Amino acid sequence: MTTKYWNVLKQRFLGDSKGRTADGSTYNSAVCGLRSAVCERSSEVALRPPSSVLRPLSSVLRPPTSFLCPPSSVLRSLSSVLVIAALLGATQTLSGCQDSGPIDVATADRVPVDLDKSNEERLLRYYLGGYVSAEGGDPVEAGLMMVDGGLALNPQQLDPAFRTALTDTDGNGTIGWEEFVEFVEATYADARLFPHTLAELKSTVQWSDDDSVWFTLDVDGVVTVARRRIYVPLEAIRTALAGYSDAGERIVYAPGTVIVAEHLDDERVLETTVKRRRSDGFWDFAIYDASGRRALRTSTGPRELRAPVQCVGCHLGRRAFDPEKSFPAEAPDGPYGPRALYVSDDLRNAEVTAYFDEHVKRSDGLLGLYATLYTARLVADRDAGSLSEEDRTLLEELGL
Ligand code: HEC
């Protein structure tokens, strides 16, 4: 095979830098075309293609990020498949690569999904679980998500109102990350039934600035340069503490628990972020802007964050952040100023902090130290002789 022949092949099947070929097909089909063409050609000559062909092949098989990508499994296996095919001169046996063409999401009942992310199955379970029911649910059981034979979803199991937002925009027969994000951002907040205003959301919980209902905590942390005031329902913390040993020494919050985090400039609320516990063990995310309207993105620095797509990285991940990581010691400053939990010294209780190891364990997906600080307050009250009998029992049950 000559270099000239290679150039013809390249033009015919790989197209321009965006992966578009002359006939408008995309990288996926182009690669399939290229593969069979090389196979056919190599069977004619029954020889390995010259290195002048194989070298450029391996570089085009690693597309730039803006390229339309076939599933990563295809990419990984493709270069070795090509070499083997060429060596063996096997044409027919390797011709299983067929261009499935664009998907008609309105009618398809199995659409391959390739988000090109680590932990992709968990991520997909998180997102799609939110479309199963108001409480969230198992998307595989519900028939919305398939795991056998590669990750896929069945659009027919989506509410028709949401299904229309799912499109195979690049026509490569797979829902990729950008297409999936477009779908999620267009539908998620409605699918999760987040009210359009913060006032409506607050009316669904027993909202009050009174600290007899909410445990409140001021933080300078990693999420925003603004001061954060986080509100966790006291009752939810107490119930989670009471169930600590039954849950296998885990802090687990009741489904429906709402946690509110205001981003403040002095006492002015610039925006509010919210997490709400689903019954499938995941949490939903929402943002409300300064006027209390539901928003897609945060507005305070250092960078805008879009809900839920840019919330899940930290919230489903394992990375530890300051000031929680250093607690009970003071945390070093971050690049945008202090990192601090504004609590009185008697709440900096090393024994209680180590007992829960809450930020690292994050048994229920919460990143803050709410159970730790609440329990430290009970211990401080006990030391001061002002603890109620009920709270004393709670501490004893914890063995503290
Ligand atoms: C860079 C990592 C990071 C990102 C991104 C992030 N968070 Fe968080 N979040 C945290 C940390 C750390 C805490 C613990 C409190 C603190 O330090 O601010 C937290 C706490 C929270 C809390 C209080 C409940 C809890 O889990 O402790 C809410 C509500 C919240 N985040 C909402 C959001 C929303 C909504 C988004 C997306 C718009 C988001 N977060 C994005 C790191 C992150």
Output the DSSP codes for 86-113: HHHT--STTTT--------TTT-S-EEE
Do 159 and 280 share a domain, yes or no? no
Is 96 inside any structural domain?
A: no
- Could you give the number of structural domains in the chain? 3
Rounded distance, CA 125 to CA 53, Å? 42
Do 54 and 178 share a domain, yes or no? no
Do 37 and 146 share a domain, yes or no? no
Do 304 and 157 share a domain, yes or no? no
Beta bridge partners of 152: 112, 146
| CB-CB contact of 395 with 378 (8 Å) | yes
Pocket of ligand 1 (CB under 6 A): 219, 221-223, 228, 230, 259, 261, 273-275, 285, 287, 298, 305, 307, 310-311, 313-315, 321, 324, 366-368
If you compute the radius of gyration of the chain from its CA atoms, what whole number of angstroms results? 27
Do 38 and 122 share a domain, yes or no? no
Is 169 inside any structural domain?
A: yes
Q: Which residues of 114-139 are buried (b: 16+ CB within 10 A; e: fewer)?
A: bbeeeeeeebbbbbbbbbbeeebbeb
Do 173 and 251 share a domain, yes or no? no
Rounded distance, CA 310 to CA 222, Å? 13
Amino acid sitting at position 185: E
Do 165 and 218 share a domain, yes or no? no
Query: Which residue has the least CA distance to atom 16 on ligand 1?
Result: 221
**Ligand 1 atom with the shortest distance to the CA of 274:** 29
Do 84 and 218 share a domain, yes or no? no
Is 97 inside any structural domain?
A: no
CA 362 – ligand 1 centroid, Å: 12
Domain boundary among 158, 174, 191: 191
Peptide bond into 112 cis (omega under 30): no
**Ligand 1 atom with the shortest distance to the CA of 313:** 5
Is 98 inside any structural domain?
A: no
What is the DSSP secondary-structure string of 240-305? HHHTTTTTTS---PPTT-EEEEEEEETTEEEEEEEEEE-TTS-EEEEEE-TTSBEESB--SSS---
Rounded distance, CA 100 to CA 34, Å? 16
Is 94 inside any structural domain?
A: no
Do 333 and 394 share a domain, yes or no? yes
Do 318 and 246 share a domain, yes or no? yes
CA 173 – ligand 1 centroid, Å: 35
Per the structure, the complete domain to which residue 233 belongs is given by 198-398
> pTM for this structure?
0.78
pLDDT in tens, the chain (400 residues): 434 444 433 444 443 333 333 333 333 333 333 333 333 333 333 333 334 433 334 333 333 333 333 444 444 454 554 444 444 433 333 333 445 678 888 899 999 999 999 899 999 999 999 999 999 999 999 999 999 999 999 999 999 999 999 999 999 999 999 999 999 999 999 999 999 999 999 999 988 877 789 999 999 999 999 999 999 999 999 999 999 999 999 999 999 999 999 999 999 999 999 999 999 999 999 999 999 999 999 999 899 999 999 999 999 999 999 999 999 999 999 999 999 999 999 999 999 999 999 999 999 999 999 999 999 999 999 999 999 999 999 999 999 9
Amino acid sitting at position 186: A
184 backbone dihedrals φ, ψ, rounded to 5°: -65, -45
Is 365 inside any structural domain?
A: yes
Do 376 and 242 share a domain, yes or no? yes
Do 221 and 279 share a domain, yes or no? yes
What is the DSSP secondary-structure string of 129-171? HTTT-TT---TTTTTSEE-TTS-EE-GGGS-HHHHTT---TT-
Domain boundary among 166, 191, 216: 191
Quote the pLDDT of residue 101. Answer: 77
Is 147 inside any structural domain?
A: yes
Domain boundary among 141, 162, 191: 191
Quote the pLDDT of residue 80. Answer: 52
Quote the pLDDT of residue 221. Answer: 95
Is 314 inside any structural domain?
A: yes
Amino acid sitting at position 255: P
**Ligand 1 atom with the shortest distance to the CA of 323:** 17
| CB-CB contact of 151 with 113 (8 Å) | yes
Burial-class residue 183 by CB neighbours within 10 Å (0-12, 13-18, 19+): buried
Quote the pLDDT of residue 100. Answer: 62
Rounded distance, CA 13 to CA 146, Å? 32
pLDDT tens digit string along 226-238?
A: 999 999 999 999 9
How many other C-beta atoms lie within 10 A of the C-beta of residue 353?
21
Tokens of 100: 């499935």
